[in-house]
């Protein structure tokens, strides 16, 4: 399977001066923010290779399987990175993570320094936590979610440290680095939100990358004009995209050919790569169109109040069942299911119908997802 791991084998020996920063590098750096760098990466810069080696020495395969069950190939990526010559001068710093159940926020970010005076700000997407999924659903009826506010604050902080307006005598000198911002899934949304909001950093922003990230509510575009940065926004989605088509998108979209179907294609390791770029598709799949239409009818076209009530009931049910991550579903006992069924009885007929339709879709996609994993 030719994907970003294959790219590292093909082009991993070429420096950035031999082969400039590209979209495939951007995806790899976007995925790096998923890794839990606590006690390994702090405020001070540490080499990517050293950080990965420390991580691999600290954790065993059982940890990798549990933590990165949503994307198992992340484990392979972490083990490969220390040996990639292309990234031997790459440094990591300013790792931040903030998870709070009360505030309903799951946030992570990291600053990546590359050769040639390049800085890449990477935002973490949704992980296996129910908290992260709750915040994603909140995007359907809230104008601003906490992670978006934190993303803006983080980018402003990095901007103050690394990007300063030039004095008149400095214009002939390259004193400030180029800035790239990116993320996968929700991280892509955060990257675009922060870039559009922090227009004072526009002179340094060279590219903003959203990899299968959701868009924004219509109200966002009523208050924010992305025209000033429009030609630097890059939204990549696989041909059977689900998440990358949620909400409103005004930025240019690039469709990528991918292995597997439906939900499986949200895993960026399923995306096809040819040498140093993605393999592009002309159109989205019929499956993607059908699922988008289905989600619009079942959830997205409901009123904000209906969505809010339903989502609160759904997550109250999961809370009663003591389900805190996707992995917990495999260990749910009879008593927990009974607590969940009790919460179901609190739903109205319309809410129950919505729940049933979403559960049916989730079951069908999960079955296809597991089949693709086994086949892979």
Burial of 57 (0-12, 13-18, 19+ CB in 10 A): exposed
Q: How many Cβ atoms from other residues are within 10 Å of residue 276's Cβ?
A: 15
Distance CA 357, CA 298 (A): 7
Check if the beta carbon of residue 276 is closer than 8 Å to that of residue 11.
yes
Tell me 329's DSSP state: G
What is the DSSP pairing of strand 205-211 with strand 178-184? Answer: parallel
* Alpha carbon 326 to chain centroid, angstroms: 17
Q: Is 207 left (phi over 0), alpha (psi -120 to 50) or beta?
A: beta
Tell me 239's DSSP state: T
Q: Which of 98, 113, 34 is nearest to 68 (CA)?
A: 34
pLDDT at 295 exceeding the cut of 50: yes
User: What CATH number labels 4-285?
Assistant: 3.40.50
Residue 182 forms beta bridges with which residues? Answer: 122, 209
Q: Which of 133, 186, 140 is nearest to 302 (CA)?
A: 140
Q: Hey, CA dihedral for 366, 367, 371, 374, is it positive or negative?
A: positive
Q: Tens digit of pLDDT for each residue in 147-156?
A: 999 999 999 9
- Size of the chain in residues: 376
What's residue 70's pLDDT? 78
Query: Once rounded to an integer, what is the mean pLDDT over residues 35-63?
Result: 95
Q: Phi and psi at residue 107, in whole multiples of 5°?
A: -140, 140
pLDDT band at 171 (very low <50, low <70, confident <90, very high): very low
Distance CA 27, CA 40 (A): 22
Query: Once rounded to an integer, what is the mean pLDDT over residues 214-228?
Result: 91
Both tokens of 43, joined, read 């405020």
- Tokens 């592009």 belong to 280
Segments making up each domain of the chain, as ranges? 4-285, 302-375
Tell me 90's DSSP state: -
Secondary structure (3-state) at 228: helix
Check if the beta carbon of residue 366 is closer than 8 Å to that of residue 329.
no
Distance CA 120, CA 178 (A): 8
Distance CA 183, CA 32 (A): 9
pLDDT band at 353 (very low <50, low <70, confident <90, very high): confident
Distance CA 112, CA 290 (A): 38
pLDDT greater at residue 336 or residue 268? 268
Q: Which of 149, 140, 105, 128 is nearest to 311 (CA)?
A: 140
Distance CA 95, CA 109 (A): 6
Distance CA 11, CA 6 (A): 9
- Tokens 């926020």 belong to 105
What is the DSSP pairing of strand 105-114 with strand 118-123? Answer: antiparallel
pLDDT band at 317 (very low <50, low <70, confident <90, very high): confident
Q: Tens digit of pLDDT for each residue in 74-128?
A: 999 999 999 999 999 999 999 999 999 889 899 999 999 999 999 999 999 988 7
What's residue 82's pLDDT? 95
Beta strands in 262-320 (DSSP E): 273-274, 277-278
Within 8 A by CB and 6+ apart from 337, the residues are 321
């Amino acid at each position: 399977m030719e994907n970003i791991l294959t790219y590292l084998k093909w082009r991993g020996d070429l420096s950035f001066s031999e082969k400039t920063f590209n979209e495939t590098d951007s995806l790899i750096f976007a995925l790096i923010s998923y890794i839990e760098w606590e006690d390994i990466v702090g405020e001070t810069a540490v080499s990517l290779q050293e950080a990965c080696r420390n991580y691999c020495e600290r954790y065993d395969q059982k940890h990798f399987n549990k933590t990165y069950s949503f994307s198992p190939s992340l484990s392979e990526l972490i083990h490969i990175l220390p040996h990639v010559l292309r990234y031997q001068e790459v440094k990591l710093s300013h790792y931040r993570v903030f998870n709070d159940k009360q505030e309903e926020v799951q946030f992570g970010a990291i600053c990546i320094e590359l050769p040639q005076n390049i800085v890449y700000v990477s935002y973490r997407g949704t992980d296996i936590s129910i908290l992260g999924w709750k915040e994603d659903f909140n995007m359907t009826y809230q104008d601003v979610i906490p992670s978006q506010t934190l993303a803006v604050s983080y980018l402003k902080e990095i901007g103050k440290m690394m990007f300063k307006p030039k004095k008149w005598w400095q214009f002939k000198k390259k004193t400030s680095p180029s800035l790239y911002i990116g993320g996968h899934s929700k991280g892509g949304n955060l990257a675009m939100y922060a870039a559009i909001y922090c227009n004072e950093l526009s002179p340094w922003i060279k590219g903003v990358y959203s990899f299968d990230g959701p868009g924004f509510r219509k109200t966002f575009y009523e208050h924010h004009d992305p025209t000033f940065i429009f030609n630097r926004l890059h939204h990549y989605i696989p041909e059977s995209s689900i998440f990358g088509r949620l909400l409103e998108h005004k930025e240019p979209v690039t469709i990528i050919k991918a292995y597997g179907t439906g939900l499986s294609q949200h895993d960026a390791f399923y995306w096809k790569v040819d040498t140093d770029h993605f393999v592009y598709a002309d159109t989205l799949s019929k499956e993607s169109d059908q699922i988008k239409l289905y989600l619009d009818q079942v959830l997205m076209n409901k009123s904000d109040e209906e969505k809010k009530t339903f989502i609160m009931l759904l997550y109250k049910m999961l809370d009663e069942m003591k389900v805190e991550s996707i992995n917990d579903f495999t260990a749910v006992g009879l008593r927990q299911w009974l607590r969940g069924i009790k919460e179901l009885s609190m739903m109205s007929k319309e809410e129950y119908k919505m729940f049933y339709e979403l559960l049916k879709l989730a079951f069908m996609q999960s079955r296809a997802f597991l089949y693709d994993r086994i086949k892979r």
